[in-house]
Structure 1
Amino acid sequence: MPDGASGMAAPVLVREDRGAVATLTLNRPAARNGLSLALLDALSAALRDIATNSGLRCVVIQAEGPVFCAGHDLKEITAHFADADGGHAFFADSMARCAAVMQAIPAVPQPVIAAVQGMATAAGCQLAAACDMVLAAEEARFCTPGVEIGLFCSTPAVALSRAVPRKAAMEMLLTAEPIDAAEARRIGLVNRILPGASLRAEAAALAARIAGRSALAVQLGKRNFHRQAGLPLAEAYEVAAAAMVENLLAEDAAEGIGAFLGKRAPEWRHR
């Protein structure tokens, strides 16, 4: 979308680092924040940079306009049906880039919070489900409607089925019916429901609170949470026990325990 003042195209993703929190804002409101290749690439680049920035300790993903994200950009996809290969190369590349973003979110050391203000559809629902926490406005809706256009939401199903019970995921995938924020919270897709007017402020406050913890403890915890989640029980406890030992040997654990016993505020060194 052109910038009326400069004639330049507005960035598809806006990043703002404030203190220890990075905020990524999807900025294609006229296209319902569809995940074009340009937006996927911008998300990938931002997440790569954030992952290596030790000064950043939490991330918020939000969106401009009334829609959080409508999924893949269907106009961009449709344009490639006329390719010599019927669009095969483009579709494969698009799905690979999207999968890379969805895997980068749990892989970055910092916790990632989605602030969903409107409809999160298909890969937009996938984007929310991939995040560590989801805050939803009261008017937010979540939907995986691909089956209605003959395109089952197979890739959104990956993140969705890891965020909610399988039968709840299958109901969303097979019926294509949108669920409201209350139902999304009931099945575990959403952590908190907030008035739309305060969604961004509440997301920023939560991110700042998390960023105020020991970065070492939080990042070690996130990494090992995801590692153990898919393991059998005995292996999960092996991973978790090793993580606890690693954490106990860190300076911040000694500081935190000492501060607790001494009834004072801890002074984190993040190591």
Structure 2
Amino acid sequence: MSSSETLLNHLDGDGILRLTLNDADRRNALSERMMADLTAAIAEAGADAAVRVIVLAANGPAFCAGHDLKEITAARAAGDSGQADFTRIMAACSAMMQSIVTCPKPVIAEVAGVATAAGCQLVASCDLAFAAETAQFATPGVNIGLFCSTPMVALSRNLSAKHAMEMLLTGDMISAARAVEIGLVNRAVPMQDLRDVTQDVASKIASKSSMTLSTGKRAFYAQREMSLADAYEHASRVMVENLLAKDAEEGIGAFIAKRPPQWQDS
């Protein structure tokens, strides 16, 4: 897997792929190039058996400032005032966010700086998120006449309705501590500890059966959109399929025998 100007990557020996947004001058804004690179990297990692966990980080003081507003403003010069470009950009962003959710590998956001608008959406779309205590979050579109409607999708699926609406309606910046309180991130830690904390969690997850992780992640997001009865029916089918898998047989056998499991990832 190769790096690009906007996105760096590094795969370690534990199967942890570190994807680093690398456009600090533009505050790692989600330009069309950035979105294309990130979408492609997520898809490639999802299909790569060597990758077990993905960590999404960023260089510079901002994790991600959201859409590239200069790129969006330039699109207004078109004959349709930018409608076609805006449609393409929003479709690309939605596809990128969904690629994180549907990726069979767990995706962890490591947030060292500010995450706003679609950058906050990016954090909310990841399976887990860890932030520096100095990190900040906002969906400030309302301040510039542009309601954060697409970030709203991710926020409303991770936060309570009132917490999500408070962020969306006020546009206020919130602290990492507040982000933990409302469920946007898992934990806020001192900046100097952030990478170690993220790596520790990623390593713990990477040690599990990748088959089990992908089965569970897919089932989690599927059942969340169902009624209670349908969710239990779906989860029960998944459990049966999981029980029939080689790694479940190995894992249960290893637990009973009090020995470490030997995963086959199948």
What TM-score, normalized to structure 2?
0.97
- Structure 1 residue 234, shift from structure 2 partner: 0.4
Q: Who is 1:14 aligned against?
A: 8
Amino acid across the alignment from 1:116: V
Does the residue aligned with 2:157 lie in a helix, a strand or coil? Answer: helix
- Structure 1 residue 34, shift from structure 2 partner: 0.4
- Structure 1 residue 205, shift from structure 2 partner: 2.1
Work out which of the residue numbers 22, 25, 29 in structure 2 matches 1:27.
22
Q: Who is 1:162 aligned against?
A: 157
125-134 or 205-214, which moves further after superposition?
205-214
CA deviations on 1:43-88 (whole Å, 9 max, x unpaired) are 0110111111122111000000111000001111111111111011
| Aligned-partner Cα distance in 2 for 1:94–1:248 | 42
| 2:36 counterpart of 1:41 | yes
Does the residue aligned with 2:78 lie in a helix, a strand or coil? Answer: coil
Work out which of the residue numbers 211, 214, 224 in structure 1 matches 2:209.
214
| Aligned-partner Cα distance in 1 for 2:200–2:24 | 24
Work out which of the residue numbers 232, 240, 264 in structure 1 matches 2:235.
240
Amino acid across the alignment from 1:86: S
| Aligned-partner Cα distance in 1 for 2:5–2:29 | 14
| Identity between Structure 1 and Structure 2 (%) | 52
| Aligned-partner Cα distance in 2 for 1:204–1:37 | 29
RMSD (Å) for aligned C-alpha atoms: 0.9
Q: Who is 1:137 aligned against?
A: 132
Q: Count residues in correspondence.
A: 262
Q: Who is 1:3 aligned against?
A: none
Amino acid across the alignment from 1:18: D
Ranges of 4+ aligned residues in structure 1 off by more than 6 Å: none
| Aligned-partner Cα distance in 2 for 1:74–1:257 | 52
CA deviations on 1:235-261 (whole Å, 9 max, x unpaired) are 000110011111111111111111111
| Aligned-partner Cα distance in 1 for 2:187–2:170 | 25
CA deviations on 1:163-204 (whole Å, 9 max, x unpaired) are 100111000000011111111111111111111112122212
| 2:120 counterpart of 1:125 | yes
- Structure 1 residue 106, shift from structure 2 partner: 0.7
Q: Who is 1:71 aligned against?
A: 66
Does the residue aligned with 2:55 lie in a helix, a strand or coil? Answer: strand
Does the residue aligned with 1:113 lie in a helix, a strand or coil? Answer: strand
| Aligned-partner Cα distance in 1 for 2:157–2:12 | 31
| Aligned-partner Cα distance in 2 for 1:54–1:240 | 25
| Aligned-partner Cα distance in 1 for 2:73–2:60 | 24
15-24 or 58-67, which moves further after superposition?
15-24
- Structure 1 residue 21, shift from structure 2 partner: 1.1
Does the residue aligned with 1:243 lie in a helix, a strand or coil? Answer: helix
